[in-house]
Amino acid sequence: MTVKAMDAKQVTKKVLNKEELFILDVRNEADFADWKIEGDNFEYLNIPYFDLLDGVEGIMDKIPTDKDILVVCAKEGSSIMVAEMLSEEGLDVSYLKGGMKAWSEHLEPVKVGDLTDGGELYQFVRIGKGCLSYMVVSNGEAAIIDSTRMTDVYTDFAKGMGVTIKHVFDTHLHADHISGGRTIAEQTGATYWLPPKDAEEVTFEYEALEGGTDVKIGNTTINIHALYSPGHTIGSTSFVIDEKFLLSGDILFIDSIGRPDLAGKAEDWVADLRESLYKRYRELSEDLVVLPAHFMIIEELNDDGSVSEKLGTLFAQNHGLNIKDEDEFRKIVTENLPPQPNAYQEIRETNMGKINPNEDEKREMEIGPNRCAVR
C-alpha cells in the first residue's frame, strides 16, 4: 500500500469535525507527554522511533484496522519510515507532513462575526500552539491583532480579500511566541502599535497604544481600553471592536485567567490583574463577545472552530473571575502556575528587537504548548 501524507490543515479538519483518528507518535516519551495533537475522538500510542528500528511486528496488535492511522514525529522523517513499515504489514496509514513543527505553525482562519457597516472579523486559530490572532476587515482596509511570525498567512489573506493592511497591534509583549507585527508593518507600511509600558526596551519605532484612543479601520472603530494588568505584562491592553467584540489579550481566557509571572513580578502585579478582571472588566457590557489571544484546551473551541464567549457567561462560569477572597486570589495566581513557556526570555528579547534569531532558531524557540494561563 502507498504511504500518504496528511497535512496540518487536514488534521485540523478532523479536530474540528470531531472525527476519529489513531495517532502513533514516535517522538520520545517526554516530548509526547509535554505536547501532542489533541482531538476529542483521537486515540494515541506513543512508541519512540528508536524502539521500532527492528520493525513494527511487536506493536501490530495495538493498532486498529478500522480507523484512520497517522504517524507523527518531530520533523517528518522518522514518521515516514515507520509509516512505510506499517504499510508493508498491510495497514493503510498516513504520516504528518512536516511533523510537529508544521503542526505548531498551522493557522486556520475562522470568521467570528460581521461588523455594523459591512465589515468582518476573522480569528486565526493556531491549533497546535493555542495562539489566537485577528483581522478586522472594513471598507477595503484591514487591521491585524496579535499576529504570529507566519506573516504570509495574513498578507495572503488580506490580498485574497482585496484589502490593504493599515494597522497592526500587539495587545502586549508576547512571551510564548514570536510576534509578526513588526514584520507585517515593515512589509505593508502599516502603523505598528504597542503598549508603551511593555515597549520600554524595544529597539524600533512604534505607535503608543494607550487608553482612550480610537483607531478607524474603514468604517469600523477599534476602541482602546488600556487595562494595564499582567496577562504576561504590565502593559496588557484590551480592545473593543464595533462595540461588539472584546479582544482580551492574555488577561482573560475562556476557562482561565492570565498568569502574572513571566517578568518575575507575580507578587507585584497580582493586584493589577485582579483590578482589571474584577473592576474594569465589570464596567464593560456583558454582551461583549470575548476573543482572547490564546486558548488552553481543545474543549474551548466552538463547533465552528472559533474560540469565543460572552463576557457575561465568563463572569458566571470562569473560575478565575469568581474568587471572592483577595488572599485566595493572590495565592492561586502566584502558586498555581504551569511551567514557564519554552525559551520565553529569548522570545521576549526577539519581540523587543534585541536579538534576531534565524528561522530555524525561531521554530525551536516556539516548540511546545502554550502556557499563558493560571491553571
Q: Which residues are catalytic?
A: 73
String of DSSP letters for 114-166: E-TTS-EEEEEEETTTTEEEEEEEETTEEEEES--S-HHHHHHHHHHHT-EEE
Q: Are 250 and 372 in contact (CB under 8 A)?
A: yes
The rounded distance, in Å, linking the Cα atoms of 341 and 351 is 15
In DSSP terms, which residues pair with 6 in a beta bridge?
Answer: 96
- Is 33 exposed, middle or buried (CB count within 10 Å of its CB: 0-12, 13-18, 19+)? exposed
Cell 457575561 appears where? Answer: 312
Q: Are 290 and 248 in contact (CB under 8 A)?
A: yes
Per-residue CA distances from 343 to 16, 71, 337 (Å): 30, 27, 17
Three-class secondary structure of residue 283 per DSSP: helix
The rounded distance, in Å, linking the Cα atoms of 155 and 187 is 9
The rounded distance, in Å, linking the Cα atoms of 106 and 88 is 30
